[in-house]
Amino acid sequence: MSRIGKRPVELPSGVSATVSGQTIEVKGPKGTHSFTATDDVTIAVEDNAVTVTPRGKSKRARQQWGMSRTMVANMVTGVSDGFKKELEINGVGYRAQMQGNVLKLNLGYSHEVNFEVPAGVTVTSAKPTEITIEGSDPQLVGQVAANIREWRKPEPYKGKGIKYKDEYIFRKEGKKK
């Protein structure tokens, strides 16, 4: 029995949801998202809440039940509040700045890294060592953050590189003479 799937998804003020067949569309102040569920679950909107119920007792129906409810909850959160990832840059001379739709990164390479920001995501750099990624789709926000971090992952000796704000870097001890 899914404990996540049992809970209905409350719709905050300013957010509306419509169901047509197996597709649910959620509209809010930050945009519109839609999700097509499998035939193993039923999605219903009743008195300002979205409920997901399985159509059988099969293993697949129970798996899809919790996953579908989580997808709907992420859509509601995305169109009302949005999602946010914060990155920190550590290292001498390492910095970032936004120029239009391009994030320019100086990461110790012989060249400057130009990262093209995809549509649906807002990237800001308030300080040269901080990058904030915001958007309404959690998968896209996380993927953009991972792609930026991939340019220079933090190394374990001095901690230089791009890391998530809440990430802990395990440090290693260097060679001794």
pLDDT at residue 46 in the model? 87
CATH number of 3-80: 3.90.930.12
Collect contacts of 59-68 with beta carbons under 8 A, ≥24 apart: 62/1, 62/2, 64/37, 64/38, 64/40, 65/2, 65/5, 65/40, 65/41, 66/2, 66/4, 66/5, 68/5, 68/35, 68/37, 68/38, 68/41, 68/43
Domain segments of the chain as ranges: 3-80, 83-164
Q: Which CATH class is domain 83-164?
A: alpha beta
Q: Which tokens in the block code for residue 5?
A: 């799937």
**Residues 148, 142: contact at Cβ < 8 Å?**
no
pLDDT at residue 154 in the model? 92
pLDDT at residue 56 in the model? 86
Distance CA 78, CA 68 (A): 15
Q: What is the mean pLDDT of each run of 10 residues along the chain (177 residues)?
A: 81 89 90 89 89 89 89 91 92 91 91 91 92 92 93 91 91 86
Domains 3-80 and 83-164 share a fold: yes
Backbone torsions φ then ψ of 69, nearest 5 degrees? -65, -40
β-pairing verdict for 83-90 and 102-106: unpaired
pLDDT at residue 1 in the model? 60
pLDDT at residue 2 in the model? 65
